Structure formats: structure tokens, C-alpha cells
């Protein structure tokens, strides 16, 4: 699948939780254009390919990024910071999907510009339903900005 065909980028290091998320999206027929990466470095390398000038258009603009905070190598807050401080990616909706209920994680995520913060339900059925609703909202109901449109610089 080409990068320009990806609609959902799932950044999740736990293989079990990634599989549950993918299955929940599949149940709602939302997994056809999904890409899963398992750490922050891999995500940033995908979003910001090496060798591209800082002002060059990026080849990858998913409709939504589902982001875990507790990631190896580069944590989710740093991934979020990079996405939301770059004019080329700032408008891509990012949903934090994490087990952290820590106030500092919630506050920092919103300060960095996250579009939504969801704590992963522990119960499988609740988790599956929540991810399905999340996917339906961001993929069907939400109207994203036009691809390539940059938000005004801060």
C-alpha cells in the first residue's frame, strides 16, 4: 500500500493492543487503509522522511493518527510535539489512545495540540466499542482539512 493511500496511522508498541485496535476498526470496515508502526522513531521516519528539505511537501497525510504515549525509543508526547509544531502536519488530527490517566499526560497532550485524548478501556468489549466509535467519528463524521493545506504559523 502506498503512503498516500493510508488513512489511519496507528502508533502502538503493544502487539496485543494493536491487534485489538485493528480488529475493532475491521469490525466497522475501517481497517482497509491502516498502517501500524510500533515505535516513535518509526513513526517520525515515516511522517518526516530523511533527506526532505524542511519546507518540502510531505508524502504522507493520514486522515487521523492514533497515538499511544508510552512508546520505545521516542515517546508519544515527543511524536505529538513534532507533528503539531510542523506547519505541514499540524492539522492532521491526532488522537491519543493510551492507558495513562495521569493529569500531566492529559494536560501536556492538549497543550501540544492533541485533538482528542482517550484512555483505553480495560474490558475487551468496552475497548472494542470505544475504538469503533472513535474510528467512525474520525473517518466518517469528521471533515478533515484539504490535503497539503498548511495552518498559519504560530
CA dihedral angle for residue 141, residue 45, residue 17, residue 1, rounded to 10 degrees: 60
Residue pLDDT, tens place only, 45-54: 999 988 888 8
Give the C-alpha separation, 32 to 123, whole Å: 25
CA dihedral angle for residue 17, residue 105, residue 75, residue 62, rounded to 10 degrees: 70
pLDDT truncated to tens, each residue of the chain (154 aa)? Answer: 455 567 899 999 999 999 999 988 888 887 778 899 999 999 999 999 888 888 888 887 888 999 999 999 999 999 999 999 999 999 999 999 998 889 999 999 999 999 999 998 888 888 888 888 888 888 888 777 776 555 555 4
Query: Which residues does 117 contact at the CB level (< 8 Å), separation at least 6?
Result: 95, 96, 98, 106, 109, 110
The domains found in the chain, sorted by start residue, are 3-141 (3.40.50.2300)
Strands 64-67 and 116-119: unpaired
Give the C-alpha separation, 140 to 118, whole Å: 18
Query: Which pTM does this prediction carry?
Result: 0.88
Amino acid at each position: 500500500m502506498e503512503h498516500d493511500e493510508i488513512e489511519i496511522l496507528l502508533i502502538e508498541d503493544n502487539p496485543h493492543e494493536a491487534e485489538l485496535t485493528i480488529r475493532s476498526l475491521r469490525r466497522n470496515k475501517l481497517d482497509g487503509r491502516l498502517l501500524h508502526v510500533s515505535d516513535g522513531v518509526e513513526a517520525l521516519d515515516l511522517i518526516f522522511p530523511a533527506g526532505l528539505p524542511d519546507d518540502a511537501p510531505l508524502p504522507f497525510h493520514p486522515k487521523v493518527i492514533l497515538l499511544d504515549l508510552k512508546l520505545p525509543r521516542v515517546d508519544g508526547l515527543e511524536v505529538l510535539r513534532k507533528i503539531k509544531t510542523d506547519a505541514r502536519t499540524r492539522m492532521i488530527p491526532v488522537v491519543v489512545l493510551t492507558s495513562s490517566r495521569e493529569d500531566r499526560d492529559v494536560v501536556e497532550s492538549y497543550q501540544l495540540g492533541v485533538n482528542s485524548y482517550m484512555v483505553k478501556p480495560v474490558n475487551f468489549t468496552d475497548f472494542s466499542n470505544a475504538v469503533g466509535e472513535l474510528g467512525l467519528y474520525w473517518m466518517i463524521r469528521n471533515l478533515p482539512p484539504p490535503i497539503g493545506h498548511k495552518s498559519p504559523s504560530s
